[in-house]
Amino acid sequence: MRGVTPGIEQRQIAIHGHEVSYRTGGSGPVIVFVHGMAGSSATWRHVLPALAEHFTVVAPDLPGHGESAKPRGDYSLGAFASGLRDLLAALGHERATLVGQSLGGGVVMQFAYQYPERCERLVLVSSGGLGQEVNLLLRALTLPGAEYVLPVACTKRVHDAGTTVVGWLRNVGLRPSPHLAEVWESYGSLADAQTRTAFLHTLRSVVDQTGQRVSAADRFYLAAHVPTLIVWGSADRIIPVDQAYTAHNAIAGSQLEIFDGVGHYPHCEKPERFIEVLSDFMTTTAPGVLSPAEWQRLLHAGGV
């Protein structure tokens, strides 16, 4: 586990008999941060302290990830969204702005769809669920037999050796890119057998050999009624930036921020800009409020 930054606490809570680990701090309007596949709440460590000066921040480790429990169970977007709802209810937060990166983007969109009364804003960061194309390696890992390849490829020995090399480089003044550091941490998490199993269940619920198999495109008209910000790196090699433009054009009133030369982790690669963009979005938009009657009307209209 990577250390918790000053002003941010890492806590645990038992929900349905399973431990959920989360980072939290600050006060004010609630922002929930949801990480990507094989990641953890640690991915937000560069931005949480500054944002906690003005907002209440909550960043959970999704089930099967980080320090949270890794039970045999459901790792679908719907299950993640339900777990997120339960965590917020347990913490006493009725409504929140939801920020999701990669897989986390799909989770927060599913949350907004299942629990519209609890979602004030949506922030989609290099998000899944907005198109079909996705990195070839992720598609390959959905093939039969991947469960036998991963234990050989992802070993603690290899990860620790790489971490040692990174330490040597830092000692001589060289630093790995934030993008590489996040990828390396995700790789390292897969040395744990339970995490690998959860990873494969999660991956196969949203990706197959042809690409992303879950799309929010037919529900973009609903997102138009929630303040929505899309953040992407122009050099993203996991999910192409074209999907950001497509979603922005399809979601009326959405805001789009492209970080030039940045990869799949804008919040790690350009944290200062990410903090500025998110803070501005929070202060210049009013929380979305959808009544049951309005939700019913939208569903009947079906985007027409």
Residue 191 maps to a domain: no
Structure tokens at 267: 């919040």
Cα-based torsion angle of the residue sequence 248, 186, 32, 99 in order, rounded to the nearest 10 degrees: -10
What is the number of structural domains in the chain? 1
Is the pLDDT higher at 135 or at 160? 135
Is the pLDDT higher at 5 or at 143? 143
HEC string of 211-269 equals EECCCCHHHHHHHCCCCEEEEEECCCCCCCCHHHHHHHHHCCCCEEEEECCCCCCHHHH
Residue 147 maps to a domain: no
Q: Is the pLDDT of residue 165 over 50?
A: no
Burial of 170 (C-beta count, 10 Å sphere; 0-12/13-18/19+): exposed
Residue 46 maps to a domain: yes
- Predicted pLDDT of residue 256: 98
- Predicted pLDDT of residue 304: 57
Residue 200 maps to a domain: no
What φ, ψ does residue 259 adopt, rounded to 5°? -95, 110
Residue 202 maps to a domain: no
Residue 94 maps to a domain: yes
**For the chain, how many helices (H) and strands (E)?**
13, 10
CATH number at residue 101: 3.40.50.1820
Catalytic status, residue 260: no
- Predicted pLDDT of residue 174: 44
Of the residues 35, 225, 264, 267, which is catalytic? 264
Per-chain mean pLDDT for the chain: 88
- Predicted pLDDT of residue 303: 62
Of 135-139, 176-180, 275-279, which gets the smallest average pLDDT? 176-180
Of the residues 21, 40, 102, 189, which is catalytic? 102
Catalytic status, residue 102: yes
Please tell me what DSSP assigns to residue 12. E
What φ, ψ does residue 260 adopt, rounded to 5°? -65, 135
Of the residues 236, 248, 254, 267, which is catalytic? 236
- Predicted pLDDT of residue 221: 86
Residue 104 maps to a domain: yes
For the chain, the residue count is: 304
pLDDT tens for each residue of 56-105? 999 999 999 999 999 998 999 999 999 999 999 999 999 999 999 999 99
Q: Is the pLDDT of residue 154 over 70?
A: no
Neighbouring CB atoms inside 10 A of 31's CB total 26
Residue 297 maps to a domain: yes
What φ, ψ does residue 181 adopt, rounded to 5°? -60, -40
The mean pLDDT of 98-119, rounded to a whole number, is 96
Q: DSSP states of 139-184 as a string?
A: HHTTSTTHHHHHHHHS-HHHHHHHHHHHHHHHHTT----HHHHHHH
Question: Can you give the residue range of the structural domain that contains 55?
Answer: 9-133+215-301
Give the angle 256-208-158 at the CA atoms, nearest 5°.
90
pLDDT tens for each residue of 17-32? 999 999 999 999 999 9
